[in-house]
Amino acid sequence: MDIAPRRLILTAAVVVLLAAASVGLAFTLPLESTDRSIPFDTTAGTDATAPYTETAAVNIDGGIFFDYSYVAAAEGAEHLVLETDGGNYYIERYSAGNSSVTHTRISVVDEEEADRRADNSDGEVVDRYQEDSRHVVLLKGEEITSPGESADSWRYLVWSTLYQADYEPASTADEFDVYAASDAWHLYDGPGRDVRISHTDGEVVIDGDQQVHRTDVSYRVTPGMSYAHYYRNLNDSETLSVAYDFDAVDAEVDAPDWIDE
């Protein structure tokens, strides 16, 4: 028996509505953040004892957000070299193992920034001069942030950048666990920007104490609380990359040549 045309039309309409609802649901999901378990230490400090070296770099859309290298020698000497603000801000911090005094060299493009750093320092302004197109300020004092304290702060930003992505177990070799970065959502009930983490690549290598040993991770951050928002905001995306390397070696630290003892 043939089905009545009106019934056929009604059935087709229901199918269309269900299909539209499915598509709409797909574009509104997810409704909650990725349920993630970060398998490594994301605190600001490191349990490592000197001597050791570490290097880190975080880039945004291919430009330098910051990078640093830090060396802690067995006898207590420390040296930090930091570059940030796209290379416009460069700073070195050094402290000898037998002294609580920190020596600092700040090199900036903007003269007003050099003035501010000199005027607001807790230490003594040892010298000021211009080198090519940059303004240099030399400082020293016991109240100035030490190389290790400064490294702690920047390392925390490394961890925060890593924390955005999700991680899945990849392999284990030579007492190191390797985790591969994967996509994630961050959705907030209160203050906070809802974002989609996508195009993830790279891995994190963790030592036996669950501390980061080495990483090379990149991902794209796009504002949005759903797939619909995500696709609409693709032009507002940023690509972040983070590299970190820790090495427990018999490091030595010599006083930089800009220090006049």
Element (DSSP H or E) covering residue 16: helix 5-28
Residue 63 placed within a domain: no
Residue 171 pLDDT > 70, yes or no?
yes
The pLDDT value given to residue 35: 66
pLDDT tens digits, one per residue of 215-224: 999 999 999 8
Give me the pLDDT at residue 203, please. 94
Q: For residues 24 and 37, state if they share a domain.
A: no
Average pLDDT, the chain: 85
Residue 176, in any domain of the structure: yes
Lowest mean pLDDT among 24-38, 199-213, 235-249: 24-38
Say yes or no: 1 and 38 in one domain.
no
pLDDT at 220: 97
Which structural domain, as residue segments, surrounds residue 216?
33-42+162-247
User: Is residue 2 one of the residues assigned to a domain?
Assistant: yes
Spatial distance between the Cα atoms of 217 and 204, rounded to a whole number of angstroms = 7
Question: At which residue do the structure tokens 């991680």 appear?
Answer: 167
Same domain, 192 and 211: yes
Same domain, 11 and 37: no
> What single-letter DSSP state applies at residue 155?
H
- Residue 123 counted as domain residue: no
Give first-to-last CA distance, the chain, whole Å. Answer: 104
197 and 169, same domain (yes or no): yes
Instruction: With respect to residue 80, please indicate whether it lies within any of the assigned structural domains.
Output: no
Whether 61 is in a domain gets the answer: no
pLDDT average, residue stretch 38-46: 63
Bigger pLDDT: 189 or 143?
143
* % of the chain beyond a pLDDT of 70: 82
Band of pLDDT at residue 208, cut at 50, 70 and 90: confident
| Whole-number Å distance between alpha carbons of 112 and 125 | 16
Q: Which two tokens stand for residue 189?
A: 């009930």
For 6, other C-beta atoms within 10 Å of its C-beta total 8
* Domain shared by 5 and 23, yes or no: yes
Is residue 106 in a domain?
no
239 pLDDT more than 90: yes
* Greater pLDDT, 189 or 92: 92
Domains of the chain: total: 2
Asked if 188 and 215 sit in the same domain, the reply is yes
Q: Could you tell me which residue, 97 or 24, shows the higher pLDDT? A: 97
pLDDT digits (tens, 9 = 90+) for 97-148: 888 999 999 999 999 989 998 888 888 999 999 998 999 999 999 999 999 9
Assess if residue 211 is contained within a domain. yes
